Every structure is written in structure tokens, then in C-alpha cells.
Amino acid sequence: MIISLPALSYTANILSFFVTAPIAAASWYQALRARQEVRRSRDLVIHSENCLEFVSADGHCVNLVPLETLHNLPRPGDVVLLPGQGVASPVAGTGAWRIERVEHIYTQSTQKSARPQEARLTKTMAYVVSLHDRAALAIAGDLRSLG
């Protein structure tokens, strides 16, 4: 059985197309995924995104509040009462705190309808000082002066 050269060429072309097309598609898809992964790794990683984060003087996070639940943002000098089980609670972050300064972090808007160079508020950090520590120190100082 002799197969003519044009028929053999045609069959080889069809077989090579069906073998190489899926390989090319898979390679393109893997390259796309690799580019997306590199882009995500270069972006700023914010674990408390879309939140107001209360940060103590030693740099620890006291509390997180979602930005969507706020009517307005705190200003320096404001006193906030963060939830907890009272002043004597072992849970850090409970009680009254005074806002020392507020920082806002903006990122580029990723919405399709966004204007060029449009930014959106991503995170707000409020640096706070505990009012209970100062009150405890003042009470201890008053007791020493009496005794």
C-alpha cells in the first residue's frame, strides 16, 4: 500500500495542528498566570484593607473597624471608646483612647469606569494613646501623696 506524498503531507499537517494547538494554548495560559502572579507580588500587600486601624504607641494593632461602617473618620484629639470587657480586662485594646494622629493610605482605583490617576481610600491608621494608663498613673501618684 503506497500513500501518495500529498495525502501524507495533508495528514501530517492535520495531526501536527491538533498536537501543537493545545500545547500553544496551555503555554500562553501559563505565561498569563505567571504575569498575574508577578503583578500581585509587586503590589502593596495590605492585610487590613478597607479598615480603620487603631495603632498604639508601641506599634501594635489595638482594633480594626471596617470603613463601610463609619459615618466619619476620627480626628486628632478625639477620644474613642473601643469595645471590650472593661479596664481590668486582659484583652488589649479595651477602654478609652485618644487619637494622636491619623494617616490615610490611598491606592490606584481598579474600577473600569475610573478616571486616569484616580485614587481610592484603602486604609486609615489612627495612632492612639491609652487614657487608662495615664489615669492609673495619676491615681497612683495621688495615693502616694496621701500616704
Q: How far apart (Å, rounded) are the C-alpha atoms in residues 46 and 44?
A: 6
- For residue 125, list its beta bridge partners: 53, 103
Q: What number of other Cβ atoms are within 10 A of residue 54's Cβ?
A: 22
HSE-CB for 29 with a 13 A CA cutoff: 6
Higher local confidence (pLDDT), 41 or 87: 41
- The pLDDT value given to residue 25: 93
Which amino acid appears at position 126 of this protein?
Answer: A
Q: What is the pLDDT of residues 62-84, one digit of tens each?
A: 888 898 998 999 999 999 888 75
Sorted by sequence, the CB contacts under 8 Å of residue 143 that are 6+ apart come out as none
Q: How far apart (Å, rounded) are the C-alpha atoms in residues 101 and 67?
A: 17
Helix or strand or coil: residue 143? helix
Retrieve residue 122's grid coordinates: 484603602
50 close to 122: Cβ distance less than 8 angstroms: yes
Q: What is the pLDDT of residues 3-46, one digit of tens each?
A: 787 887 888 888 888 889 999 999 999 999 999 888 877 765 66
- The pLDDT value given to residue 126: 93
On the question of pLDDT at 61 being above 60, the answer is: yes
